[in-house]
Amino acid sequence: MDRQKIRSDFPILEDLIYLDSASTSLTPEPVLDAVLDYYHDYRANVGRGIYRTAQIADQRYRDAHRKVANFIDARVGATIFTRNTTESINMVAMGIGWKKGDKVVTTIMEHHSNLLPWMSLNKVGVELKTIMANKEGMIDLADWEKAIDDRTRLVSVSQLSNVLGMVQPVKEIAEICRERGAMLLVDGAQSVPHMPISVSEIGCDFLCFSGHKMLGPTGTGVLWVKKPEEIEPLLAGGGMVEGVGDHGYDIKQGYEGFEAGTPDISGGIGLGAAVDYLRDIGVEEIHRHESKLTRRLLMGLQAIEGVDIIGPQDTKGRGAVVSFNVTGLMPQEVALMLDSASNISVRSGHHCCIPLMKYLGLKYGTVRASMYLYNTKDEIDKLLSTVEQISRMG
């Protein structure tokens, strides 16, 4: 992997150290080109027209769905384009015909987007069970076994925590779900962009992720559904029906039945180009590179007096998301200092995980550095040296 060549596709990196890819990634030139080509050369609606540009648009938009489905090794089901992970999870929460007394199982580590949609089902009598983790984000499989019972309709878990960086054993959780007759939703917002994912191997029922966290345009996300008939489409309208009768309609098979109205066509095509870009480099290769940077960052932070790492202290079973705090300083102060002293962009605060922050006793949250394929060890060293200077002020 030629890092300099990759970096030349992200001109914004010339005067910025971007360590906030868990929030949203940067966009490489080939993705921008794909978006612009649509507008310049063949802008038309999809699934409607028969003229030449409409057919090209249709073909490219379909290709994008196919590329994304291949990327997650989806051999069955529908790969639906949404705006983001949040919309994908809400489509499942609102699309299932819940019964009073149904149970949803999730964990204390979830992002609000994988918590609030389940909390809101309280009004239709759905019970929410939250499994606790240890301070490093580990959950015993026995706890999953205990929590998932025959009333459990759905289990929803983030594969990689956006705060602690810990990876959950989703394949084993899927097995427990199968035994108990529950469905499994995997929130792949932080995993799909960074590690090879196969929905066929995991054996889940739903996978939700964000295109904008994996080099795609903002406003793009994905919901993969193993059995589309398990959920009702969130929206009804143009483009999603086979036929309309006097009192009802038949929805189209596949993703089209779930994408009523004109979709984000350029965004979808851009996401297809993002997947091409990631595949050309290789997701395993990206994961290896990120693990090296994560190890360097963890070791460096451990050596700085007054710095506390929140989450696992080594790279085993974790992704390229590292949360930490500096004694005597608020996370927001540290983030501002990193920006003003060294042009380093990191996230600070509760990371949309207020229940986890309360559980960990972190009133102001953490500083979070998150890495991607375009980051370098020199950037990590710059982060470390700046944190060291800042820690002397704490």
Ligand X SMILES: Cc1ncc(COP(=O)(O)O)c(C=O)c1O
Number of residues that bind ligand X (CB under 6 A): 14
Output the smallest distance, CB 300 to ligand X, in A: 24
Q: Is the dihedral of CA 347, 136, 192, 188 positive or negative?
A: negative
- Find the part of the chain contacting ligand X (CB under 6 A) among 91-99, 140-148, 184-192, 383-391: 184-192
Q: Of the candidates 85, 81, 79, 96, which has an alpha carbon nearest to the alpha carbon of residue 232?
A: 96
Nearer to ligand X, 87 or 379 (CB): 87
Task: Report if residue 85 touches ligand X, rule: CB under 6 A.
Answer: yes
Output the smallest distance, CB 204 to ligand X, in A: 15
Output the smallest distance, CB 349 to ligand X, in A: 12
**Maximum CA extent, the chain:** 73
Output the smallest distance, CB 104 to ligand X, in A: 16
Output the smallest distance, CB 378 to ligand X, in A: 26
Read off the amino acid at residue 96: I
Task: Report if residue 348 touches ligand X, rule: CB under 6 A.
Answer: no
- Find the part of the chain contacting ligand X (CB under 6 A) among 34-42, 110-118, 140-148, 331-339: 110-118
Can 352 be counted among the known catalytic residues? yes
Nearer to ligand X, 24 or 55 (CB): 24
Output the smallest distance, CB 92 to ligand X, in A: 13
Task: Report if residue 27 touches ligand X, rule: CB under 6 A.
Answer: no
Nearer to ligand X, 189 or 338 (CB): 189
- Find the part of the chain contacting ligand X (CB under 6 A) among 40-48, 126-134, 186-194, 264-272: 186-194
- Per CB under 6 A, the list member of 162, 323, 375, 391 interacting with ligand X is 162
HEC string for the chain: CCHHHHHHCCHHHHHCEECECCCCCCCCHHHHHHHHHHHHHCCCCCCCCCCHHHHHHHHHHHHHHHHHHHHCCCCCCEEEEECCHHHHHHHHHHHCCCCCCCEEEEECCCCHHHCHHHHHHHHHCCEEEEECCCCCCCCCHHHHHHHCCCCEEEEEEECECCCCCEECCHHHHHHHHHHHCCEEEEECCCCCCCCCCCHHHHCCCEEEEEHHHCCCCCCCEEEEECCHHHCCCCCCCCCCEEEECCCCEEECCHHHHHCCCCCCHHHHHHHHHHHHHHHHHCHHHHHHHHHHHHHHHHHHHHCCCCEEEECCCCCCCECCEEEEEECCCCHHHHHHHHHHHHCEECEEECCCCHHHHHHHCCCCCEEEEECCCCCCHHHHHHHHHHHHHHHCCC
CA dist., res. 338 & res. 211, Å (int): 27
- Per CB under 6 A, the list member of 21, 79, 84, 266 interacting with ligand X is 84
Q: Rule CB under 6 A: which of 192-251 touch ligand X?
A: 210, 221
Nearer to ligand X, 152 or 156 (CB): 156
Q: In this structure, what token pair is assigned to residue 340? A: 């003003």
Output the smallest distance, CB 62 to ligand X, in A: 24
- Find the part of the chain contacting ligand X (CB under 6 A) among 4-12, 182-190, 301-309, 323-331: 182-190
* Contact pattern from residue 112 through residue 151 relative to ligand X, giving x for each residue in contact according to CB under 6 A and a dash for the rest: -xx-------------------------------------
Q: In this structure, what token pair is assigned to residue 276? A: 């091409």
Task: Report if residue 111 touches ligand X, rule: CB under 6 A.
Answer: yes
Task: Report if residue 326 touches ligand X, rule: CB under 6 A.
Answer: no
Nearer to ligand X, 156 or 386 (CB): 156
- Find the part of the chain contacting ligand X (CB under 6 A) among 79-87, 235-243, 250-258, 331-339: 79-87
Residues forming the site for ligand X (CB under 6 A):
23, 84-86, 111, 113-114, 158, 162, 187, 189-190, 210, 221
**Catalytic site positions:** 352
